[in-house]
């Protein structure tokens, strides 16, 4: 190439990449782009059904996969949400829980105290308000109602507030919600002690509500005279978080 | 590497330029590297919200989400600015036209064990670039649906999350492959850092482009490597 014909800019003596003459060949690039964008649009419209199908057919397989490889696929699994910088850590020996507020006898329960209470088990779906759902999760713990009865709820009580040893997360239930038989203080999931990532050693599990009500790393229960909005509720989520009847969602009830 | 071309005189005198050939101009390199930073931020913050073990290490979901959304909204800006610049965007527009078109050599390249003579971009590079453009559009669209969920039905929101997840996995694989291939071919990698490649490299890996640029035939070196793999010195 003659240096004189090169456009200004690059150093002299270096042949410049010339613009290609007339484009030749078929516009495969454009077809690929349009095709994939179309595929994405179809996916948005049908994705809920496809996801549902995948979770029903492959979800149980993935839940039992010990290698953890399939855990990276986007269905049939828990996503771990934490609102603070690091994952809180407390061993069962270090753990204890205050039960206070409007109660007859404020308590401090240890892990062994909790284990000594009458256990209850339930197997229910876990539904996150962001859309993912894990089918048939087996939980074990004690009924929240039993814990409340042990401390004795005072007459002025209307609600229960929960705190986490992550130092930031809080949740609330009305007293009637807290007394439901499917609201438990859980210490086992899928037959094993609750792991740190899943809120261990002890968490709340509110079966009929979206996951954000099931506070992880539980360390405090306070009986109050009114509902105090929790962490996500101060950020716009519904306080009464029934699955399928709140947050503008219509998921199948858990 | 420039010395390589200088010390290997071609018998036919066809080695035109020891200093190298301009492969990517300043605009293209700026667009590439700003987009690269945004994509890496998006992949890292996306992984922190998506993959359990990383989520548990990083936490801070509110902050991670904010960074991800801002980087996502910024993603198309470098490419759009670059391609719309009347004069300085010329090289980028020319390469976009090249990537769009497939000729017989591209079809040959895609068939295993067939020697092909790629132009400036081989068929794999063209398909990958097209995939990434489409993935960018899809991820941005579904990301907006996820960030502002009030405007959509629950099924559409679930669908958007579903599509966002799968396309993100595709981009993660594509970017990983892109980085691995760049590390395996330091000359190609330097081409995106400094903009210039040795004529000899162009002649071996992109013979049609070499001919287009220099006007010299590229076919003296045989056999023609079909794909850009392996390190050449």
Q: Please name which of B64, B56, B63, B60 lies closest in space to residue A84, comparing C-alpha atoms.
A: B60
Give the dihedral sign, CA B217/B223/B225/B230. Answer: negative
Nearest to B59 among A37, A86, A250 (CB): A86
Residue of B127, B129, B156 with shortest CB distance to A44: B156
Q: Which of B146, B174, B183 is nearest to B43 (CA)?
A: B174
Q: Are residues A104 and A57 in the same domain?
A: no
Do residues B139 and B59 share a domain? no
pTM of the entire predicted model: 0.65
Range of the domain at B36: 26-91
**Whether residue B47 sits in one domain with residue B17:** no
Name the DSSP class of A211: G
Domain count along chain A: 2
Predicted ipTM of the assembly: 0.78
Subunit contact A40:B61, Cβ cutoff 8 A: no
Chosen domain end from A39, A63, A87? A63
Tell me: do B153 and B198 sit in the same domain: yes
Q: Quick check: B55 and A79 in contact, CB under 8 A?
A: yes
Examine the domain organization and report whether A115 and A181 are in the same domain.
Answer: yes
- A97 and A218 assigned to the same domain: yes
Sequence-ordered list of residues with C-beta below 8 angstroms from that of B147, at least 6 positions apart, any chain: B69
**Beta pairing, strands A133-143 & A159-164:** unpaired
Contact at 8 Å (CB) between A206 and A224? no
Q: Distance between CA atoms of B132 and B124, rounded to whole angstroms?
A: 12
Which residues of chain B does A85 touch, with a Cβ-Cβ cutoff of 8 Å?
58-60
Count: domains in chain B? 2
Chains A, B: CB contacts under 8 A, how many?
190
Select from A14, A34, A196 the Cβ nearest to the Cβ of B21.
A14
| A96 and A127 in a common domain | yes
Residues B18 and B32 in one domain: no
Q: Pairing relation of β-strands A183-189 and B196-197? A: unpaired
In a mutational test of the A interface, the residue from B136, B138, B192 whose CB has the highest number of chain A CBs within 10 Å is B138
Residues B148 and B82 in one domain: no
A191: left (phi over 0), alpha (psi -120 to 50) or beta: left
Q: Report which of A243, A244, A216 is spatially closest to residue A230, judged by C-alpha positions.
A: A216
* A47/A139 same-domain check: no
Asked if A251 reaches chain B (Cβ–Cβ under 8 Å), the answer is yes
Q: Which of B66, B97, B45 is nearest to A26 (CA)?
A: B97
Q: Do A43 and A154 share a domain, yes or no?
A: no
pLDDT tens for chain A, 254 residues long, are 444 444 444 444 555 655 555 567 888 889 999 999 999 999 988 887 787 777 667 666 665 555 555 555 655 556 667 666 667 788 899 999 999 999 999 999 999 999 999 999 999 989 888 777 788 889 999 999 999 999 999 999 999 999 999 888 999 999 999 999 999 999 999 889 998 888 989 999 999 999 999 999 999 999 999 999 998 888 888 999 999 888 888 788 88
Looking at the structure, tell me whether residues A126 and A192 fall in a common domain: yes
Closest Cβ–Cβ partner in B55, B131, B137 for A80: B55
Is A37 inside a domain boundary? yes
Q: Coil, helix or strand for A222?
A: strand
Secondary structure (3-state) at A120: strand
Chain A residues within 8 A of B101 when measuring between CB atoms: 23-29
Which residue among B91, B121, B140 closes a domain? B91
Residues B24-57 have pLDDT tens digits of 999 999 999 999 999 999 999 998 887 766 666 6
Give A 188-227 residues with CB within 8 A of chain B. 196-197
Same domain, B81 and B191: no
Residue B63 lies in a domain: yes
Domain containing residue A140: CATH number: 3.90.420.10
Does B154 lie in the same domain as B187?
yes
In this structure, are B68 and B157 located in the same domain?
A: no
Partner-chain contact A29 B52, CB within 8 Å? no
Same domain, B57 and B124: no
Q: Which domain holds residue A194?
A: 78-235
Asked if the structure places residue A196 within a domain, the reply is yes
Residue B101, in any domain of the structure:
no
């Amino acid at each position: 190439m003659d240096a004189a014909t090169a456009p200004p800019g690059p150093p002299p003596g270096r042949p410049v990449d010339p613009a290609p003459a007339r484009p030749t060949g078929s516009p495969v690039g454009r077809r690929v782009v349009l095709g994939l964008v179309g595929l994405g649009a179809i996916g948005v419209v049908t994705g809920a059904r496809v996801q549902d199908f995948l979770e029903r057919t492959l979800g149980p397989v993935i839940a039992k996969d010990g290698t953890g490889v399939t855990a990276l696929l986007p269905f049939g699994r828990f996503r771990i949400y934490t609102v603070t910088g690091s994952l809180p850590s407390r061993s069962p020996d270090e753990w204890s829980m205050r039960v206070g507020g409007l109660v007859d006898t404020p308590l401090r329960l240890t892990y062994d105290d909790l284990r000594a209470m009458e256990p209850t088990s339930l197997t229910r779906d876990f539904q996150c308000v962001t859309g993912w759902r894990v089918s048939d999760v087996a939980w074990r713990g004690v009924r929240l109602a039993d814990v409340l009865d042990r401390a004795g709820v005072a007459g002025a009580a209307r609600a229960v507030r929960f705190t986490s040893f992550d130092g930031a997360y809080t949740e609330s239930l009305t007293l009637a919600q807290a007394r439901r038989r499917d609201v438990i203080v859980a210490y086992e999931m899928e037959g094993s002690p609750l792991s740190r990532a899943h809120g261990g050693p002890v968490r709340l599990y509110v079966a009929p509500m979206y996951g954000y009500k099931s506070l992880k790393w539980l360390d405090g229960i306070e009986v109050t005279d009114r509902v105090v909005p929790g962490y996500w509720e101060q950020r716009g989520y519904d306080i009464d978080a029934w699955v399928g009847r709140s947050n503008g969602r219509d998921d199948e009830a858990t | 590497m420039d010395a390589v071309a200088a010390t290997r005189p071609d018998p036919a005198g066809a080695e035109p330029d020891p200093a190298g050939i301009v492969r990517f101009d300043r605009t293209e390199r700026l667009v590439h590297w700003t987009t690269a930073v945004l994509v890496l931020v998006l992949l890292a913050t996306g992984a922190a919200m998506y993959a359990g073990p990383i989520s548990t290490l990083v936490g801070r979901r509110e902050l991670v989400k904010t960074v991800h959304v801002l980087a996502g909204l910024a993603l198309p800006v470098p490419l759009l600015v670059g391609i719309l610049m009347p004069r300085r965007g010329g090289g980028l527009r020319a390469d976009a036209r090249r990537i769009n078109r497939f000729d017989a050599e591209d079809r040959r390249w895609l068939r295993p064990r067939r020697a092909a003579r790629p132009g400036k971009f081989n068929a794999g590079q063209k398909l990958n670039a097209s995939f990434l453009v489409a993935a960018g559009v899809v991820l941005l669209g579904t990301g907006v649906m996820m960030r502002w969920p009030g405007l959509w039905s629950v099924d559409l929101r679930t669908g958007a999350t579903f599509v966002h997840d799968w396309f993100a996995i595709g981009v993660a694989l594509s970017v990983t492959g892109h980085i691995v291939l760049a590390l395996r071919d330091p000359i190609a990698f330097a081409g995106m850092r400094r903009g210039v490649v040795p004529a000899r490299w162009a002649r071996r890996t992109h013979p049609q482009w070499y001919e287009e640029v220099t006007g010299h035939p590229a076919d003296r070196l045989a056999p023609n490597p079909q794909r850009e793999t392996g390190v050449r010195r």
